[in-house]
């Protein structure tokens, strides 16, 4: 489904594979393999593609939208995993609408992104288990289970787990841009 969705978005925006490769810094060969569902791209690659295509990251996996009520069963949540042993996200919200809610599991000693990054949203996170550091360019905040943080996601940021136990947290983003 991801490959077809990417190809449809690329065509809708009038991009050739070469143009999308230039916008993202991702090779044409890799883009072609992703569109043909031959490989699963990394989280960083997906972020680059979502930004270039001007869509929230999880919308790359979106199904049809039902404007009524949506029930998302735990075992059917769409998920994304960064490099093994780093961060895994599952989508709690249905993937349409003005709010994206994700559950993140950040492994010991890892970060949500190799570098600080920003996106045009507002973000609120609450730690469910463990400890979590939210880093910005000139400051950081250490959160424990039950603590929350709210910030403008236009500020470059990332989540870090400096401990030896997994961190589990919920993050809400509006409008969806993850």
Q: Over the stretch 157-173, which tens digit does the pLDDT of each residue have?
A: 999 999 999 999 999 99
**pTM value surpassing 0.85:** no
CA 87 to CA 94: how far, in whole Å?
20
Domain 2-55 has CATH 1.20.1260.10: no
**Cβ partners under 8 Å of residue 33, min gap 6:** 39
**Cβ partners under 8 Å of residue 11, min gap 6:** none
Q: What is the pLDDT of residue 68?
A: 67
Our measurement of the distance from residue 128's CA atom to the centroid of its chain's CA atoms, rounded to an integer in Å, reads: 19
Below-50 pLDDT ranges, the chain: none
Contact 166, 107 (CB under 8 A): yes
Q: What is the pLDDT of residue 71?
A: 78
- Superfamily holding 74-174: Jelly Rolls (2.60.120.10)
Q: What is the pLDDT of residue 141?
A: 98
Contact 118, 172 (CB under 8 A): no
- For the chain, give every residue range classified as CATH 2.60.120.10: 74-174
- For the chain, give every residue range classified as CATH 1.10.260.40: 2-55
């Amino acid at each position: 489904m991801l490959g077809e969705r990417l190809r449809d978005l690329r065509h809708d925006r009038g991009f050739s594979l070469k143009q999308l490769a230039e916008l993202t810094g991702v090779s044409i060969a890799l883009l072609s393999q992703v569109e043909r569902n031959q490989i699963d791209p990394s989280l960083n690659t997906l972020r680059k593609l979502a930004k270039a295509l001007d869509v929230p990251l999880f919308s790359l996996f979106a199904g049809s939208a039902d404007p009524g009520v949506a029930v998302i069963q735990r075992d059917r949540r769409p998920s994304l995993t960064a490099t093994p042993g780093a961060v895994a996200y599952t989508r709690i919200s249905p993937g349409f609408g003005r709010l994206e809610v994700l559950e993140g599991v950040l492994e010991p000693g890892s970060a949500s992104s190799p570098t600080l990054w920003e996106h045009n949203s507002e973000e609120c996170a609450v730690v469910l288990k463990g400890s979590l550091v939210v880093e910005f360019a000139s400051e950081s905040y250490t959160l424990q289970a039950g603590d929350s943080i709210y910030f403008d996601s236009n500020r470059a940021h990332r989540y870090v787990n400096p401990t030896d136990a997994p961190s589990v947290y919920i993050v809400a983003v509006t409008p969806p841009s993850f």
